[in-house]
Structure formats: C-alpha cells, structure tokens
A and B are shown apart, each in its own frame.
Chain A
Amino acid sequence: MSVIAEPPRESFRVDMLWNDARYRSTFIQIVALILVLTAVGWIVNNVVGNLARLGKDFNFAFLRAPASYDINQTLIAYTSQSTHARAALVGILNTLLIAVLGCAAATAIGVIAGVLRLSKNWIVARLMTVFVEGFRNVPLLIWILMVMAAVNESLPAPRAATPTLGGALVATNRGVYIPAPVWGDGSWFVVAAFLLSLVAIWFWRRHARLKQEATGEQSPVLAVGLALFFIPSLIVYFITGMPITLEYPELQGFNFRGGIFMRDSLVALWLALSFYTGAFIAENVRGGILSVSHGQTEAAFALGLRPNRTMQLIILPQALRVIIPPLISQYLNLTKNSSLAIAVGYMDVTATLGRITLNQTGRAMESILLLMVFYLCVSLTISSVMNWYNSRVKLVER
C-alpha cells in the first residue's frame, strides 16, 4: 500500500530567491527594476543639477520665437521671421520629400538591377554585380559628397547650360530645373475626372475577378484599365480648354527662372540615396526571386501556363512575400539616412531643428528630443505597415 507523502513544507530561506525557480524570476526582475530606476534617477538628478548650474530650464517656448535664419529649399511659405516651429516643419517636409523621392527611385533602380543581375546575359550580370558591390561597400557619406562634387564641378554654370529634352530639363552646377505644372481655371475638373477613373478601374478589376471566379470567362483588364486611365481625363482636359499647362525654365540674366528648381544639394542627396539604397534593394529582389524554387516554374509550365502568366501568377506572388519586408526596412533606412543631408547643406529636419535651431537657441536637450520623437514616429509608422503586411501574407500552414 502506497502512501502519497506530502512534500515537506520548507520554510522560506534567503537563498531560495536565486536558487528556487518559484522566486527567481520575480527576484531578478525586482533587482533589474531597482537598478533601472536608480540609473534613471541618477541621470535625471544629473540633468537637473547641470541645468541649474548652467542657469537653463527645460521648456519648449523657444519654438515660438522667430527663427531668423533662411532656408533655401522650402515646400511651404517661410521667411526668416517665421518661428522655430515653422522652421522645424519646413525641415520635416523636406525630409519627407527626399524620403518619398528616394524610395521611388531606389525601388526602380533596385528592381531593374536585381533582375538584370540574374540575367543570362553575361556582361550585364557582371556589370550589375560591380554596381551592387560598389555601392554597398562604400560609405553613403562618400557617395553623397562625390555626387555633390560631380554636380558642382562637372555641370555647366547656369549661363552656359543648354536645356535638354526640348527645354524640359536644364542641368546646371547649382541644380536642375524641370517644368512646373500651372493649374489654371477649371483644372480641378480634370483632377476629379482622373480620380473618378481610378475608382472606375478599381471597380472594373473587381468585376472582372468576380466574373472569372464565377464563370471562368476572362475580361480584358489591362486594355480597359489603360483606356479608363487616359481617355476620360483627356476628354475633360480638352473640353475644359486645356487648363493645365507646363511652365518651362527660361534663362534670364545669370540664372534660370520658372519651372521647378531642384537645388544641387537635393539632386546630390536624391541620386546618392537612391543608388545606394537601390543596390541593397537589388540584393533583396535577387534573393526573393531565387527563393522561389524552380519546381514552381516547372509545375506552372506543366499546367500549361505561358511564361508571362507563370511570372504573374506563380513566381511574383511568392517572391514578393520574401521581397517586401526587407524592402520596407530599406525604406526606413533611406529615411534615416536622409539625415546625412547635413553634409551637403540640404535643409532637412536634422539640419534645421537639430543643428541651426539648436545652435542658435542653445536648447540642445529639447531640440534633440523633438528630433528623435519625429524619427521614432516615422519608423514606428513604417514598421507597423510592415507588421500589417507580414501578418497579411503569412503562410497559412496546415
């Protein structure tokens, strides 16, 4: 006959805090909490002491004071009489501008280079390898400075510059001029027609998909889509009497007037960031395409799909699942790297808030805090987009 003995009840001893699994994790966490609180308290105490010693305080009132410095590239109205907050906003918009431009160009460069690196063409594949390895292994700052030097040293002065592409593009050593759209009366009709046709395309695609799923009949998605994309907008454009025109840059005196002026620093930063990030994206694209096993292609051919349908329906959906997460983190890297703008004098938020405002007001703590909060917001936004995508495309496993 067996007796189930109660385990002897031990009384609590001090060494059980780190020897007994029941208490250990709580004990360690309490110790860590105390250590962290002590460290934070020590730092806060030091900061308070240092601020008091320097006769400073911690407030954000300086943001309302006039900035009294000029910004050479602004997307919104700004004068040197505007406030520091306005200057920071100008900087934020400039950062977002370079981020959007850079992401678009880097994606195009990366996809082309990544696909060409897999090409069967020997010389093209080698060239792309040289391009990718060259850009990936040399610091971005060197590329930015080199492109800036290339713009400043090798392009002609505005007076000697000749417009190319029928006057649409003027490249000078101070920057690049491109045509600017002029929005005349009634141009919002055209914009509205364009937006409506985008909605129509979406509905047409949905209709085509549902019809195919229900009956198996295919509808001409691409042709109708293209027609919807162009024709309604063009018709409205001509009916309303061509309200949107382009303003071309023209030489007046020593400089060009009119059109959109992209300053040398913007051009240099944009090109360098796009090629540098493009090289990384090329590797992601290549890895993504290689990750789809050859059996998938063969199976698709065995089912009788033609090569382009195979690419569209079998390879790309699977490759994109591998490509897009690192692609999004490259976008994040590009946005953070755009802070190197400071090296060529592009006025992004690091240059306005993090440097000039900081130096003029001496508010180092507040300025850097705001700067970091901005970048944290951007990166948290981007990474939540990535998490949403990841959870959407996650393989549903059996």
Chain B
Amino acid sequence: MAAAPPHVAYVAERFYDDEAPPPSTVGFTAWLRENLFSSPLNSALTVISVTLLALYLPGLFQWAVTHSVWNASSLRECRAIMDASFGEGVRGACWAVINERFMQLIYGFYPSALRWRPNIAFVLLLIAMIPVLFETMRSLLWIAGGGLAIKAATTVVSLAQGDGFGPLQSPTTYFMVGALVLAYFFGGREHRRKWLILSALFPVIAYFLLWGGAFGLDRVPSSRFGGFLLTMIIGVTGIAASLPIGIALALGRRSDMVFIRSISVMFIEFIRGVPLITLLFVASTLLNYFLPPGTEFDLILRVLIMVTLFASAYMAEVVRGGLAALPKGQYEAADAMGLTYWQSMRLIILPQALKISIPGIVNTFIGLFKDTTLVAVIGLLDPLGLTNPIRADSNWNGIVWELYGFIGFVFFLFCWGMSQYSMFLERKLRAGDRR
C-alpha cells in the first residue's frame, strides 16, 4: 500500500541565478559605510577630518603653488609681483629665495669654479655604494646614464638660451662617460672585488677631492664648506664609520672578558646618557685640550669624530639587540663545529644578527642624518645654519616658511627614502626565512 506523499509546500525545480547583493553592501556606498561611517564616533571623526582638510588644504595649496613666485631678487619684489598678479594683499610662497640661493644651500661657500669636485665626489659615492649594496654594477649604468641625461637636458636649455655647450664641457661629464664605459665592460659579478677596492679607497679619494691640497687640486678651507654638502659629509662619514665601531662595541659588551666588557659598557652608557649637543660643545671647545699643545685640528673633523662616536654607541645597542635575539643554539653550534671566535662571528653569528637588526640600524642612520642639523648650533653652515645669513640679508629679511619648508622637505625625502629602503630590505631578507 503506497503511503500518501508527504505534503511538500515548495520544490525548486531549477537553479536560480544569484541575487545581486543589496546596494548598501557593495560599491562606493559600502566602502563609505565600512571605512568612514561605521559608528557614530567614526562618523564624527570623518566629519572633523574632512572639515579640517577642506579648511586648510586649499589655502596651503594656493600659498605653495598657485600664488607662489619663483623669479624675483628680493622679498619686496616678490610681494610686488603677488600684488600685481593675484590681487592686492594676497600672499603666496616666495620660492624665489630658494631659486636664488639654491647653489648656496647645496654647496655652502664652496668656490663655484670648483663645484665639479663635490659633484664628482657625490657620483663616486654612489659608485662606491653599489658594490656594497648590490651584486653587480648594473645600477651604475642607470646612475651614469641618468646623470648624463640631466647634463644633456641642461645643455639643451643652455643652447636654447644661446649660451652654448657650457654645461656639457665639465669634468663631471667626462667622469660620468668614463664610469658608464667601465660599468658596461667591467660590471659583471666577477669584477665585484675590484669595485670593492674602490669603495675602500673612497674616503681618501673624497677627502682629496673635497679639501684638495694635493695632486694639483687647490686647497679649499673647511670654512667654505656648507649646505647639504656638509650634511652629506657628516652623515655619510658617520654612517660608514659608526657601523664597524658599533659592531665592535656590541661584541665587546657581550664578551666574557670583564675588562673589555666594562670599558664597552662605560663608553656606550656615557655617550647615550648625554645629548649630542654637549658632545658638539666638547668638539668645539674642549677637544683641543685633549691633544698635544699646538695641535691645530679642523672643526669639521672634530665634529665628524664626535658624531661618529655618538652614532656608534647607539649602533652598538642595536647590534647587541640583534645578537641577543639569536637563539643560543647558533652560538653553541658554531662552537661545536670547532670554529674560532672570529670565525663563528664572521660566518655564523653576525650575518644573522645584523639581518635581525636592519630596522634598528636604518633607524640609527636616519637619526644620525637628522642630527647633522645640530652642527648649526656650534656655528657650522649646514642648511639650517645658512638660514640665518639668508634671513639677515636685507633682500630676504622676513622670509621664514619657504626656507624651513624647503630644507625640511629635502630631509624628509632622504629619511623617508631610507626607511622605505629598510622596509624593502626587511621583506626581501624575510623571504629567505620562509620554508
């Protein structure tokens, strides 16, 4: 006996297409709802932020871009131009001061006929960095090519103004052509060692290029150095010298030898305990007391020593953190292999410890680079030190934001670039840890 079929209210006889999601959960409105108005508090924050942006951003943009003046010889002329072209009393940025003093902000009072020397030193610095940072010299092709392209562009401008081939006929051009050829023919992995010799020799070469006094190069006294040239000299020397000293100090602080350890600890804690400014005072007023009577010691060199010592102590703490973060098994395995102390450090411990400490190391670099501005306090003419003579000039009396803004922006580019590179490096190195 067949049972009566159960009562079925509804049977789907075919597949239905998916319904479109409700409009409030997709697209722009959903994004708005999710990211800007998810709660009353968030909505309030959004409204406040947007209002603030709407209030200040257009004014800032107008000041910096649309109402700015790039060509004038004094602040008065700037204001006259603004009054004439944007209406009476409208004030914008007078970037003309940067335009006029650009070379001074870059080179300080370095003689203009000799500026090719810092230029070449800068290109050499880039070249010397490549074998340290990369495996091959391929990037040099880009750098030299880019430099030549800039040269070509300035030449085109110069030709258009009827000034002839002046910019092209400089030592910098010949140098970059030479570098380009060398990189093309000897840029392979097998030649890296020879390029590294160049990197090792770079400090000596750069010293003679910048200060001269030998090989037929005219002597340039330290008092002429200034601007971002000085920032680069102090920053690069500090960065290059503080890393090895910092590693040595960190190893000393973790050493079993009591005396070595206590000396390292005392040095590190002393340097980290006092502000850089007091160390710079030591450089400017005290260092001559510590040297044999009659020693004349260049102020920039004294500052370099102090900045390097300062950064080394911070570097030592960063590297020590890396050393401490390594699992103890690594040390024990290295000992078990029968490696000597230096072999185990060089082959096993330091490569891993330094890799862990990369973010800290780059942060120290950034801090050091920013701290170079403090030399303005002891009277060196770094970009910030140059703002005083520029603001005291009767032509530019009353200029404030343009100078600080420009200098701050350049520092921002350098420091932000460094931090982005460190993040890139971290990601790249972490890729090796994935299994």
Contacts and interface: CB of A to CB of B under 8 A. Distances in A.
Nearest to A43: B290
A121 B404 contact: no
Given A120-B35, A350-B278, A372-B278, A137 B411 contact: yes
Contacts of A136: 415
B38 A121 contact: yes
Interface stretch (A101-109, A157-165, A375-383): A375-383
Contact of A47 (B277, B285, B290, B401): B290
B274 A49 contact: no
Contact of A33 (B259, B270, B289, B401): B259
Contact of A29 (B257, B278, B292, B387): B257
Contacts of B373: 139, 141-142
A238 interface: no
B258 A124 contact: no
Contacts of A143: 408
A49 B288 CA distance: 11
B263 A32 contact: yes
A153 B402 CA distance: 14
B137 to A, nearest CB: 30
A121 B46 contact: yes
Contacts of B400: 149, 153
Interface string B347-388: 000000000000000000010001101101100000010010
A357 to B, nearest CB: 12
Interface string B286-311: 10111111000000000000000000
Interface stretch (A75-83, A251-259, A336-344): A336-344
B4 interface: no
Contacts of A51: 289
Nearest to B405: A146
Contacts of A43: 290
Interface stretch (A224-232, A313-321, A363-371): A363-371
Interface in B222-266: 256-260, 263
B42 A119 contact: yes
Interface residues of A, number: 53
A358 B285 contact: yes
B404 A142 contact: yes
B289 A28 contact: no
Contacts of B53: 127
Identify which of A137, A153, A339, A372 gathers the most chain B CB atoms within 10 Å of its CB.
Answer: A137
Where chain A touches its partner, the secondary structure class is helix
B370 A32 contact: no
A291 interface: no
A140 interface: yes
A120 B285 contact: no
Interface residues of B, number: 54
Nearest to B413: A137
Contact of B289 (A25, A50, A140, A350): A50
A354 B281 contact: yes
A46 interface: yes
A163 to B, nearest CB: 23
Contacts of B407: 142
A145 B257 contact: no
A45 B38 CA distance: 72
Contacts of B288: 50
Given A138-B412, A145-B384, A368 B289 contact: no
Interface string A28-61: 1100110010000001001101110100000000
Contact of B401 (A53, A149, A350): A149
B404 A46 contact: no
B290 A46 contact: yes
B45 interface: yes
Given A28-B257, A121-B36, A46 B292 contact: yes
Given A139-B373, A145-B404, A376 B273 contact: yes
Given A123-B46, A340-B374, A368-B286, A138 B38 contact: no
B273 A380 contact: yes
Contacts of A140: 370
A133 B376 CA distance: 24
A142 B416 contact: no
B49 A336 contact: no
Contact of A124 (B45, B286, B401, B419): B45
Contacts of B370: 137-140
A123 B277 contact: no
A29 B35 CA distance: 62
Given A120-B38, A121-B42, A138-B415, A364 B274 contact: no
Interface string B27-63: 0000000111010001001100110010000000000
B408 A123 contact: no
B259 A375 contact: no
A124 B401 CA distance: 26
B35 to A, nearest CB: 4
A122 B256 CA distance: 52
A50 B293 CA distance: 6
A181 interface: no
A134 interface: yes
Contacts of B293: 46, 49-50, 53
Interface in B377-435: 377, 384, 387, 400-401, 404, 407-408, 411-412, 415-416, 419
Given A137-B415, A142-B373, A153-B400, A342 B277 contact: yes
A146 B50 CA distance: 25
Contacts of B377: 141, 340, 342-343
B282 interface: yes
Contacts of A371: 274, 278, 281
Interface string A355-398: 00010000011001001100110011000000000000000000
Interface pairs A-B: 10 shortest CB-CB: A122-B35, A137-B415, A379-B273, A139-B370, A336-B275, A339-B275, A29-B259, A139-B373, A376-B273, A364-B285
28 contacts: A29-B258, A29-B260, A32-B263, A33-B259, A46-B293, A50-B293, A116-B45, A119-B42, A119-B45, A122-B36, A123-B50, A136-B415, A137-B416, A137-B419, A138-B411, A139-B371, A141-B376, A141-B377, A142-B408, A146-B408, A149-B401, A336-B276, A350-B278, A354-B277, A354-B278, A364-B286, A375-B273, A380-B273
Given A28-B260, A139-B371, A343-B376, 4 more contacts: A53-B293, A119-B45, A121-B35, A127-B53
